[in-house]
Amino acid sequence: MGYREDSDKSKQPGRTYDKHCDSAFRPHGGYRKLRSFQVTQVIYDGTVSFCNRFIDKRSRTHDQMLQAARSGRQNIAEGSRASATSAKSEIMLVNVARASLDELLLDYEDFLRQRGLRQWKKEDPEALEIREVGRKQSDRTDQTDVTDRSDEVDPSIPYLPWLNHPDPAIVANALICLIHQANYLIDHQLAGLERQFASEGGFSEKLAMIRRNAKLNNKSDRTDLSDPSDRSASPICPSCGKAMILRTARQGASPGSNFWGCSAYPNCRGTRQLEKSTNT
C-alpha cells in the first residue's frame, strides 16, 4: 500500500510500507506516485515531441536531448527501486537525474538563444501561468509532500496547450519551466532522503540493529550450559569473582570431560566442577 495522507509524516511519500514487519529493507517503490517522476515523464514525452518536430534527427543534439530527458525520468524510478537495500544508491541516482535535467535545460536555452528567440523570465505572465498549473497538480493539502495522489490522471494533459503549440519558442519555454519545477521537486526529495538516512541509517545499519535486538531478546532465554558463549547461566569464579566459561579437559584424570574455567584464564586458574545433570 502506498503512502496515504493520514500516514506518519516521517515516512517518504510514494513508498511501500509494511507496518507489521520489522525489516531491514527500506521503504521502496511507488515511484509513479512521486510528483518528481510525473513531471520528468512530462518533460521526457514533451522532449521527444519537440525534437521530432523542431530538431534535425540526424543532429547529435537530437539524440543528446532525448537521452538527457530519459535519464532525468529513468534515474528517479531506478533510485526508488534501489532504495530497498541502498540509501546511497538512491541518493546517487536521484542526483544523476538532477544533473541530466540541468544538461537538458542548457540545450533548450541554447535552442532559443541561437535562433534569436525570447526566453521567458521567471516573472513573465507565460511562466507564471505554467507555474500555476504545477501548483494545482501538486498536493493541495501539504506543499511539502511531493506526491501527487491524482496519479491516475495523465499529468501531461494540463500542459498540452503549450507542448503541442506550433511555435517552437513556446514549446521550448514551457519545457524550461517544467525542468525548473522538476529540479525544485528533486531538491526537496533529496533533502528528505538525506534526513531519513541521517535518522534511520542504511541497509547495513538496520541489519546490525536487528542482529543486536535478536541477541538481546534471546539473552534471557539461554539455558544450554554446553554453549560456551552462554554467559548468562555460567557460575561465578570462586577465586576472582568473574564469570566462568565451559571448558574441555585435554589431559589429566578425565580428558575430554567438561568443567567450568575462569574467563580470566591464564591470569586466574579458578575452576568449578560441572554438575552431573549438565555434563554430557
Q: Give the predicted TM-score (pTM) of the model.
A: 0.62
Q: How many CA atoms lie within 13 A of 53 on its CB side?
A: 15
Query: For residue 245, what pLDDT is reported?
Result: 86
Query: For residue 150, what pLDDT is reported?
Result: 46
**Low pLDDT (below 70) residues in the chain:** 1-29, 139-152, 201-210, 213, 215-233, 276-280
Q: How far apart are CA 40 and CA 74, in angstroms?
A: 9
Query: For residue 203, what pLDDT is reported?
Result: 61
CA distance readout (Å), 279 to 47, 228, 247, 259: 77, 13, 11, 8
Query: For residue 233, what pLDDT is reported?
Result: 61
Query: For residue 160, what pLDDT is reported?
Result: 96
Query: For residue 247, what pLDDT is reported?
Result: 84
Helix axes 87-114, 168-200, angle to 10 degrees: 160
Q: How far apart are CA 205 and CA 207, in angstroms?
A: 5
Positive or negative, the CA dihedral 83, 89, 91, 92 is negative
Residue of 34, 171, 150, 162 whose CA lies nearest to 108: 171
Query: For residue 28, what pLDDT is reported?
Result: 53
Query: For residue 153, what pLDDT is reported?
Result: 75
Kindly report the length of the chain. Answer: 280
Query: For residue 195, what pLDDT is reported?
Result: 86
Query: For residue 257, what pLDDT is reported?
Result: 83
Query: For residue 88, what pLDDT is reported?
Result: 81
Phi and psi at residue 111, in whole multiples of 5°? -55, -45
Q: How many other C-beta atoms can be found within 10 angstroms of the C-beta atom of residue 232?
A: 11
The amino acid at residue 12 is Q
